[in-house]
A and B are shown apart, each in its own frame.
Chain A
């Protein structure tokens, strides 16, 4: 299969904004922060058509930044994002309408002073996907498909609940007839019952429209439910990647293992108070990451090598990649059995 969507060795750095005042202050001896942050550090992944890749990680690990780079909202510092071998961004401008994004917060992602019908119609009209005359019918059709009353098009966003707004945001993205949908924590700000509705809607539409998806979330159970493959991010790098069930059942990287272990479970063994295995220590500051493996300071399996060099992302099994020198023994065992 040809490469549909490819993120190729992408890095995004954020530089601190140094004002004239700061410059003068630093000349006079004041300490001004000039180090830059690599929010996304040399990340590569590929997506085949129709596939859904789940991207998980702690908050602050760069998932959203990677999502924005993939969506053509942010420019890469290094590396390229390719859709059908064509770059997604050129000279700071997005070149394609085939990638659309659903944002995390439906309260912020809809213009409060624009009628929702207009908001949905705006993109398709501006990009000549639909004529102005047909726009109303087109928008109503999309409202119906995302489970909203087509008569709601004349309302303003503040007249809707969070779940309804997220449906509108989904309609807005899908009305552009994208091939790749990037969902940046689409259910994180919704109630649990609404989350289920939105996830089901998402699954339904994905099937109907044969969408390729990049699904970003910190919620492991949601990702497990919707993705074909998962990539685990830690401090700007992908540390493990593979088929969803394989990664969840048999994690290769110590971080993935720790992340899965820290999920609270509903089934308790006894009436005892259950202690969850929290990952020890804090996520290191991205301003001064550790010299070797970024996870080394928190890793229970840490070896000498880990503190000196950063392990590359290597193939460790069937369609599995992990970035670790000392892959835990139980993974090898289980992997051989499989």
Chain B
């Protein structure tokens, strides 16, 4: 038997042939670990007011503050350690980016495959809505939705999903439309199998390769989009609204986002790099 190794092992063997992909994967994993264990790595929780001291405000990098530890990147006007703020920001960016990307993937794929499967008027109706949405820039759509829905994690995710599902729907639709005409779908329908079964057991797996590529790009761009919204002041509220009101002049939020923006830009770049390789090796059936 040729299949002495598990599929995972064979996947890894092919994946590891590309050095760049391995490096990219390591960076993504490192960022994930940093995000996951941020509370144990960084000295300060920037959301915890008790640990902040105004005495430490606006200090240069390398300053040893009242907490007794080095502020490697300095502090902001409220005395928050910027390094800690970046790591905590990373948590939110990654979480929202992945959550929004995954929900958009599921929603968009369902819409696309359903439209391609049923055809006719429903197909036209659904896909014209998607086309209409694709004609707006995602950032504009997200801005409008956040403005309408208000701030908050779920609102933000909803806005990102609404802005991004159309890409998945288009891709899934295109792939499924092509697969729909093939003999094996006809054979499955002639068995007969239910439409649901044909759509999810036959169409979906065969539409996966292009969807994986789009997913890598879209999850990365969801992270960027979240950071952009934060930068524009429409992201998550830093903590309680009252807190916001109390320190009206705080601009930490924006600074966090600015740095975060740069960082997540990198992050999304590596996401693409690693995952595009996944897609390439995925083309050869494992």
Contacts and interface: CB of A to CB of B under 8 A. Distances in A.
B20 interface: no
Contacts of A72: 190, 192
Given A73-B189, A122-B191, A123-B191, A113 B183 contact: no
Interface stretch (B43-51, B68-76, B194-202, B244-252): B194-202
A156 to B, nearest CB: 6
Contacts of A73: 186, 189-190
B201 A122 contact: yes
Interface string A104-116: 1100111111100
A41 interface: no
Given A111-B202, A112-B206, A156-B285, A127 B183 contact: no
A108 B183 contact: yes
Given A112-B285, A113-B285, A101 B187 contact: yes
B147 interface: no
A32 to B, nearest CB: 19
Given A156-B285, A158-B285, A110 B190 contact: no
A249 to B, nearest CB: 36
Interface in A146-197: 154, 156, 158, 169, 172, 176
B197 A126 contact: yes
Given A103-B183, A172-B187, A126 B194 contact: yes
Contact of B192 (A94, A113, A114): A94
Interface string B173-208: 000000000111011111111100100011001101
A109 B191 contact: no
A109 B190 contact: no
Nearest to B187: A109
Interface residues of B, number: 20
A212 interface: no
Nearest to B2: A159
B211 to A, nearest CB: 13
Contacts of B194: 126
A143 B187 CA distance: 18
Interface string A270-306: 0000000000000000000000000000000000000
A97 interface: yes
B202 to A, nearest CB: 5
A169 B194 CA distance: 19
Contacts of A100: 190-191
A126 B193 contact: yes
Nearest to A93: B192
A71 interface: yes
B190 A94 contact: yes
A108 B192 contact: no
Interface residues of A, number: 28
Contacts of A110: 184, 187
A200 to B, nearest CB: 23
Most chain-B Cβ atoms within 10 A of its Cβ — which of A100, A110, A126?
A126
A100 B186 CA distance: 12
A114 B190 contact: no
A171 to B, nearest CB: 13
Given A113-B285, A122-B201, A108 B182 contact: yes
A112 B208 CA distance: 12
Interface string A70-110: 01110000000000000000000110010011011100111
Given A94-B192, A122-B193, A114 B187 contact: no
Contacts of B184: 108-112
A114 B183 contact: no
Given A114-B202, A156-B285, A71 B191 contact: no
B201 A71 contact: no
A110 B206 CA distance: 12
Contacts of B183: 103-105, 108-109
B127 to A, nearest CB: 14
Nearest to B181: A108
Given A108-B182, A111-B206, A113-B206, A97 B192 contact: yes
A111 B201 CA distance: 10
Nearest to B208: A113
Nearest to A103: B183
Interface in B112-142: none
Interface in B192-244: 192-194, 197, 201-202, 205-206, 208
A158 B190 CA distance: 22
Nearest to B3: A154
Nearest to B124: A20
Contact of B193 (A103, A113, A123): A123
Contacts of B187: 101, 103, 109-110, 169, 172
Contacts of B186: 73, 103, 109
16 contacts: A73-B186, A73-B189, A94-B189, A103-B186, A104-B183, A109-B187, A110-B184, A111-B184, A111-B205, A114-B205, A122-B197, A123-B191, A123-B193, A126-B197, A154-B3, A158-B285
The 3 closest A-B pairs by CB, nearest first: A108-B183, A123-B191, A109-B183
Given A72-B192, A111-B202, A114-B205, 15 more contacts: A97-B191, A101-B187, A101-B190, A103-B183, A103-B186, A103-B187, A109-B183, A113-B205, A113-B285, A122-B191, A126-B191, A126-B194, A154-B3, A158-B285, A169-B187
